[in-house]
Structure 1
């Protein structure tokens, strides 16, 4: 297993080196911790990596992680340093061009990096290079994503089976039960703050979980995710408490149809704008277009939100091996809202849905 993991990381570094060559970059300084982990396997909170065009690499972390980095990154020589990026740059001799992750470096940090370079070392801002490589997941990534999605889905099913989502309980209590169950099933942590949005709060896409007591007739939206071994899950279900109304049945049915259309549209070669339109057009034609206030979906992996992005202004198209959420919603201020979300793996045919929880209207 260690050999397989090492090969996987070195293959990613090889892909990055090939992209560097096209931009005339001699070495690449990687400081974004997600990318350090993607390219090396190191999961500590302080680290940086330099990759040269000849595929040689050097990683740095401080003494807190001496044992951890030896276990996680046995194939790259490690520099023990606190100010990891600066110390790695001090080792580079020119003349050469060194790329840095411009989207993840502040001006203060850039000044420090520039000051560490010799006169014949030029820092070159780079954006989107590693993100493009990350777009298509390898088999192990897909297995990890499937596993953590199943873990989270099992946790919500346990909450439902135990009657922990119920009238008379607070949003915060339900969220705590769900997070506890994800932890007990093996999650390292939650992927993001759990949303349990009831009644009028369900009209707020990112409400959170407060002290409101769930009441009969409420729509309750549960948006949750688990994090395990670097990977994240993301799923949303909406339930109706006690009894339905004409309003709750109407918007639930509408979002359900839109979400199914988005899943069906998510095939290789489909422009991301068309995936968004597959959901958005159904909602707009029903007269609720102004109440669908966010994009249709996003990729998921080491980050909860990462490319590709399915939105009205999105660019590019889907490819096999990508991930994508499909999560249309309708939110009526003061009344309530519905969101239904699945995470998909894009395959050669129909997408694989890895958040396997029922989506038919459920009254609890």
Structure 2
């Protein structure tokens, strides 16, 4: 998958305008997601740095390891390519960057840098560009918050795959129950859904690109489901378990999340009570994602559903976060983020209830903020009756 040239021209023009408005000669971009967003270069991240120079005067080039240049050309990236041989090499990459700026006669007295730049890289740039004032700027991340129409199309495609991954995981359990064979372990189920999503991607698209991963799956069952970021274990699923499938997929590195809680076998009264509150909180949080509201207000309204049900002690995290070319990115749907929602944002809606020693309950959708209200991109059923596996 490759976005059209018009997309890159549009976002690059916006970056130039913002640099000029802030009195910056240019910006040095290093985060793989920012590089992919601005010029369409997707690459394997190693210790070898990639530096994208983007000037307010229209100059732009990307400095990369020589071993990546052929692949960059194949991607038809939207910037001149300059290379260095190895890292650290006899000449550090930062010195190559400074030499390229001098060759082009580019003014670089006030340069923006992104928050992802390491302290070591910042010091190396200072040595290579003496007299340059470096200013941390959110020029690129601010643009990424609102998705372009071409990106939303990719998010929709990823949502279909992610929902199908949930169905593939459910079918694996149903087949074991029907056949009287042992249920899969958490790790078995994780491998199955990740392989399913990855295979779908390679079957559907002629050129697969991503910044971190194509498909991911976290599987928690029984007591392990009470650990929101626990990893799948070797524990075998059992009838009576509460099971969370926390899945993600990306098309051209445009991510979505689709997460559901399942009950294996007839649910108990306790399971019904926890599930009902988690589902209600998710519905309230999703419907609150409307233009003009703040992330903090939306978060509070959703989590208050859990608190009002007397389950506040089981809250472990915020309502959600932004999703885009990275799986987690601004804005943050939590109490400390005053960001006002605008059309084109994509947010996760994923409140959870986590009861130590028992289980966890989380339902998550990727939600597009539109002028007429929130739109769920992920559509897998979320009612309890639809998610009981027998």
Quick check: TM above 0.5?
yes
Measure the CA separation in 1 of the matches of 2:344 and 2:61. 29
Give the Å deviation of 1:195: 1.3
> What's the offset of the Cα at 1:164?
5.6
| Structure 2 residue ranges without an equivalent (≥5) | 86-91, 203-207
Contact 1:81 1:87 in 2 (8 A): yes
The 5 A counterparts of 1:24-173 are 24-45=23-44, 47-73=50-76, 75-82=78-85, 84-93=93-102, 96-117=108-129, 119=130, 121-162=131-172, 163=174, 168-173=183-188
Deviations 1:28-62, CA, capped at 9 Å, x for gaps? 11111211111101112353211111122112222
Q: Distance in 1 between matches of 2:29 and 2:187?
A: 39
TM-score, with structure 2 as normaliser? 0.87
Provide the C-alpha distance between the structure 2 equivalents of 1:190 and 1:113, rounded to a whole number of angstroms.
Answer: 30
Instruction: Tell me, yes or no, if the aligned pair for 2:292 and 2:341 is still in contact at 8 Å.
Output: yes
Find 1:357's aligned residue among 365, 376, 380.
Answer: 380
Deviations 1:86-137 (A, max 9, x none): 41223324764242434222222122111111x4x41313132211011110
**Structure 1 length normalisation: TM-score?**
0.93
Q: Report the equivalent of 1:178.
A: 193
Aligned residues: 361
| Alpha-carbon distance between aligned partners in 1 of 2:341 and 2:56, rounded to the nearest angstrom | 29
Superposition RMSD in Å: 2.1
Question: How many Å apart are 1:193 and its aligned residue?
Answer: 5.0
Structure 1 contact 190–225 (Cα < 8 Å) conserved: no
Q: Counterpart in 2 of 1:309?
A: 332
Residue 273 and residue 16 in structure 1: after superposition, are their counterparts in 2 closer, same or farther (change >3 A)? Answer: same
1:292 is matched with which residue? 315
Inter-partner Cα distance in structure 2 for 1:152 and 1:129: 31
CA contact (8 A) 1:164 1:177 kept: no
CA gap of 1:324–1:32, structure 2 versus 1, over 3 A, is same
Q: Report the counterpart of residue 218 of structure 1 in structure 2.
A: 241
Runs of 4+ in 1 over 4 A off after TM superposition: 82-85, 164-167, 187-193
**In 2: Cα distance, 1:216 partner to 1:230 partner:** 36
Matched-pair contact (CA < 8 Å) for 1:24–1:97: no
Q: Which moved more, 1:143-152 or 1:94-103?
A: 94-103
5+ residue gaps, structure 1: none
